[in-house]
Amino acid sequence: MALKKYKPTTPGQRFKVISTYDEITADVPEKSLLAPSKRSGGRNNEGRMTMRYLGGGHKQMYRIIDFKRDKEDIPAVVKTIEYDPNRTSRIALVVYNDGEKRYIVAPHGLKVGQTILAGKGVPPEIGNTLYLSEIPFGTVIHNVELRPGQGAKMVRSAGAHAQLMSRDGKFAILKMPSGETRMILQTCKATVGMVSNIDHNLESYGKAGRTRWLGRRPRNRGVAMNPVDHPMGGGEGRASGGHPRSRKGTPAKGYKTRARKNQSNKYIIERRKK
């Protein structure tokens, strides 16, 4: 994937850096794998705004993604690499030997015409889904299950990857993208490779309107509000706002919010880096 920087012909173009979309091979999605996606605009069933800074945006259809990869030992051929408005990564349309079509999160380096597999005894190649008990140490993986058969819940965003470090008893030890080291059952599945669109974090929209197309409205700072609206509001002149905290008063920047009695604490070997 490559990035495209524009000449400053307008103020919006001056800082615009976006993807060239070279890897995308199809403009029209597979109709049988689309579902309607309704926008709330941040309103609840009474029409009252319960979430701020949401609204507008381009109409989108949801692409049904196969996160379970439960068609085991049936080869699938990659037909297209497509853009998905609902996620940062690219998606791939794969067609199984029995004719079924599915979308998967496309790993970096996956090509049209490539054959992928899932199940036991599958070679650890890009796009193949294996059980953690069969993946070699040091392998870069993504789409990791948290519980067996649940479907991938972790390492799904653009450019993300985890690494299989070792195994201990019935657990595999993974180094997550955040730097956290944690244990996951070896009976969980993961896909080999890192997620596509690896330069996504280097993109710059260049103008506020491009963010509005995504359905995000302007977000004003707490220090610019009045004391009735935010704990950091008020003060004479341009006051700093005191200790950074949320609208509800929870401190930020260093304050730990994770529950001490969280059941999953016992699976975390090393916390993420500060």
Q: Domain ranges for the chain, please list them.
A: 3-40+56-201, 220-268
Cβ neighbours around 143 below 10 Å, total: 28
Say how far apart CA 111 and CA 104 lie, in whole Å. Answer: 13
Radius of gyration of the chain (CA): 22
Say how far apart CA 142 and CA 105 lie, in whole Å. Answer: 9
Q: Which two tokens stand for residue 254?
A: 């260093």
Residue 196: CB partners within 8 Å, gap ≥ 6? Answer: 1, 23, 81, 89, 90, 105, 106, 107, 108, 110, 158
**Mean pLDDT computed over every residue of the chain:** 96
Say how far apart CA 2 and CA 196 lie, in whole Å. Answer: 12
User: Is the CATH code 1.10.20.60 the one for domain 3-40+56-201?
Assistant: no
Q: What angle do CA 45, 46, 51 make, to 5 degrees?
A: 75
In which region does residue 159 sit, left (phi positive, over 0), alpha (psi from -120 to 50) or beta (all else)?
Answer: left
Residue 52 and residue 248 in contact, taking contact as beta carbons nearer than 8 Å: no
Residue 130: CB partners within 8 Å, gap ≥ 6? Answer: 118, 119, 120, 122, 124, 189, 190, 191, 192
pLDDT (tens, 9 = 90+) of the chain, 274 residues, equals 689 999 999 999 999 999 999 999 999 999 999 999 999 999 999 999 999 999 999 999 999 999 999 999 999 999 999 999 999 999 999 999 999 999 999 999 999 999 999 999 999 999 999 999 999 999 999 999 999 999 999 999 999 999 999 999 999 999 999 999 999 999 999 999 999 999 999 999 999 999 999 999 999 999 999 999 999 999 999 999 999 999 999 999 989 888 999 999 999 999 988 7
Domain spanning 220-268: CATH superfamily: Ribosomal protein L2, domain 3 (4.10.950.10)
Q: Tens digits of per-residue pLDDT, 107-126?
A: 999 999 999 999 999 999 99
